[in-house]
Amino acid sequence: MIAQLTKSERQLALIILLVLTICGLAMAIAGRQDPLGVHGAIVMLAGIAGIFGVIYVYYEPEPDEARLALYYDDPTKLAIILAMIWAVIGMFIGDWVAWQLVFPNLTFDAGWSSFGRIRPAHTSAVIFGFGGNGLIGTSLYVLQRTSRARLPDQISPWFVLLGYNLFCLLAATGYLMGVTQSKEYAEPEWYADLLLEIVWVVYFVIYMRTLARRKEPHIYVANWYYMAFILVVAILHTVNNLAMPVSFGHAKSYSAFSGVQDAMTQWWYGHNAVAFFLTSGFLGMMYYYLPVRAGRPIYSYRMSIISFWGITFMYMWVGSHHLHYTALPQWVQTLGMTFSLMLLIPSWGSAGNALLTLNGAWYKVRDDATLRFMMVAAVFYGLTTFEGSFMAIRSVNSLSHYTDWTVGHVHAGALGWVAMITFGSIYASVPWLWKRERMYSPALVEWHFWLAVAGLFTYVFAMWNSGIIQGLMWRTYNSSGTLSYSFIETVIAMKPYYVARAVGGFFFFAGAVIGLYNIVMTIRTAGQPADERAADRPVAQPAGVPALQPGE
């Protein structure tokens, strides 16, 4: 992968890695009495490892010009492998925390393994590790195909992918050491946030530069969504993470906001991380892979437009539905609820558009587990957005909030929608990327599909039951007008559902392990003849125009 870089790119890589190493060293020295020091050492080691990697191939011959006539897919390949590795890690931790609620001593009397520390490790590993790598990998793939142009250079995608994974690593290891801002889904501390900020700007620049050289007059719908994902996540990340570090030698920082303003900012971020990370980005994925795999055009261009602008505009209003009946002023709660209900229209627009695209290809859904992953994703996207709008109604929320119903809802979206569309897209991409006829074992794809579906249903039904039962128990009064149940009685009532949830989670995890194995075996089997993929390349440069130069 490094040998693909040109001489000047190798030099630039060395400079970036040297800067990274120096930053790591500075963090390690300034933070020697603090967890920051450990993170400094990790950053420094990452930098040094990179430097050795580049030096190792530095004097190898430069890649030939023929590469410019092809798409640049190496970063996508690594992103997909990393996504699957993070999926296995994240789902393993997820199932472990689930069992901790059944057997609370599964912490083994250590600090790093307690529920409160590994729960964010689970959420970040699956959302940012699995989801984020899936998004970066597929977006670079889709961007090039729909623009019919190669990425503008070969170093910026590596910067984005590896920088992003360093962020994920700092996040996950930080939680185990107790480094957290406590803001849900924005837990990493200030220095990791700064790293992500830089990575994200470069990511956006790649997008703009590639689109600028596209050979298609129109920007394809998948790219609208990927762009909204990149841009809005940048806004959300920047505002919600404004904080004052204790010093340059401390990992700890204090949020710029407090109390009610902080709560609103956090849930404006939190719900729109759902909207623009876990929805917009994955809709981008769906709008490319589902029609391509089904061999059908998108059902309705106009529905795509309505859905896109509806989601982009309305989602940003709904965060306050996380704060019904709290100290947040009621007018904000009401706005959040109202927009949550209206949001159902663009959400179902997208889900319907996807399912109607499958008309004429349903026999493929029956036979092809990869396409079936995408179909289930679209169905669960529709179900989850309906459930979300429903739960945002103030009176429903009074029951559901603080209970497992919310956890079930999140997992209906995360397992049913996000993971399913990602697995489908990955199973479609892997044979294309590695020039294979098909996956190593279609039977194992079927196994993965059915394990995932079984795990999903077990999980979601368990959480619906536990959430609604606990919510009702909390508000049950006896005939003398006092509360019927103590809190601990409602905890005891949860036990069977916690067992069921952990079992369902295990099914889903097992499916991901099978998926990783199948992908590795596909990569290790022999490729198909090159000419079968002859059409998969950017539009050739007209004669007289100099070939693209990296760094151009």
Q: Which residues of 263-286 are buried (b: 16+ CB within 10 A; e: fewer)?
A: bbbbbbbbbbbbbbbbbbbbbbbb
Of 70, 325, 521, 551, the residue at the interface with other proteins (CB under 8 A) is 325
Give me 256's structure tokens. Answer: 């710029």
User: In three state form, how does the secondary structure of 209-231 look?
Assistant: HHHHCCCCCCCCHHHHHHHHHHH
Show contacts with other proteins in window 159-178 (CB under 8 A). Answer: 175, 178
Work out whether 483 is an interface residue with other proteins (CB under 8 A).
Answer: yes
CA distances from 20 to 40, 154, 159, 272 (A): 10, 19, 11, 31
Work out whether 180 is an interface residue with other proteins (CB under 8 A).
Answer: yes
Nearest CA-CA partner of 474 in 465, 462, 483? 483
Work out whether 492 is an interface residue with other proteins (CB under 8 A).
Answer: yes
d(CA 255, CA 273): 18
Show contacts with other proteins in window 390-409 (CB under 8 A). Answer: 398, 401-403, 406-407
Name which of 396 and 513 has its Cβ closer to other proteins: 396
Of 14, 48, 260, 396, the residue at the interface with other proteins (CB under 8 A) is 260
Name which of 317 and 508 has its Cβ closer to other proteins: 317
Show contacts with other proteins in window 22-61 (CB under 8 A). Answer: none
Least distance between other proteins and beta carbon 52 (Å): 35
Name which of 207 and 417 has its Cβ closer to other proteins: 207
> Residue 244: beta bridge partners?
254
Name which of 21 and 307 has its Cβ closer to other proteins: 307
Least distance between other proteins and beta carbon 541 (Å): 20
Helical (H) or strand (E) element with 386: helix 369-391
Q: Which residues contact 98 (CB under 8 A, 6 or more apart)?
A: 498, 501, 502, 505
Of 239, 520, 521, 547, the residue at the interface with other proteins (CB under 8 A) is 239
Show contacts with other proteins in window 85-104 (CB under 8 A). Answer: 100-102, 104
Work out whether 478 is an interface residue with other proteins (CB under 8 A).
Answer: no
Name which of 342 and 503 has its Cβ closer to other proteins: 342
Least distance between other proteins and beta carbon 248 (Å): 11
Show contacts with other proteins in window 58-77 (CB under 8 A). Answer: none
Give me 386's structure tokens. Answer: 């309906």
Name which of 327 and 526 has its Cβ closer to other proteins: 327
Q: Which residues contact 415 (CB under 8 A, 6 or more apart)?
A: 380, 452, 455, 456, 459, 460, 508
DSSP letter for each residue of 173-190:
HHHHHT-----TT--S-H
Work out whether 254 is an interface residue with other proteins (CB under 8 A).
Answer: yes
Work out whether 319 is an interface residue with other proteins (CB under 8 A).
Answer: yes
Of 62, 74, 184, 446, the residue at the interface with other proteins (CB under 8 A) is 184
d(CA 551, CA 154): 8
**How open is the CA angle 467-468-474, to the nearest 5 degrees?**
90
Work out whether 202 is an interface residue with other proteins (CB under 8 A).
Answer: no
Q: How many residues does the chain have?
A: 552
Work out whether 487 is an interface residue with other proteins (CB under 8 A).
Answer: yes
Least distance between other proteins and beta carbon 160 (Å): 17
d(CA 286, CA 295): 13
Q: Which residues contact 469 (CB under 8 A, 6 or more apart)?
A: 493, 494, 497
> Residue 255: beta bridge partners?
243
Work out whether 228 is an interface residue with other proteins (CB under 8 A).
Answer: yes
Least distance between other proteins and beta carbon 182 (Å): 4
Least distance between other proteins and beta carbon 103 (Å): 9
Q: How many residues of this chain interact with other proteins, rule: CB under 8 A?
A: 99
Name which of 7 and 495 has its Cβ closer to other proteins: 495
Name which of 195 and 232 has its Cβ closer to other proteins: 232
Work out whether 218 is an interface residue with other proteins (CB under 8 A).
Answer: yes
d(CA 53, CA 454): 43
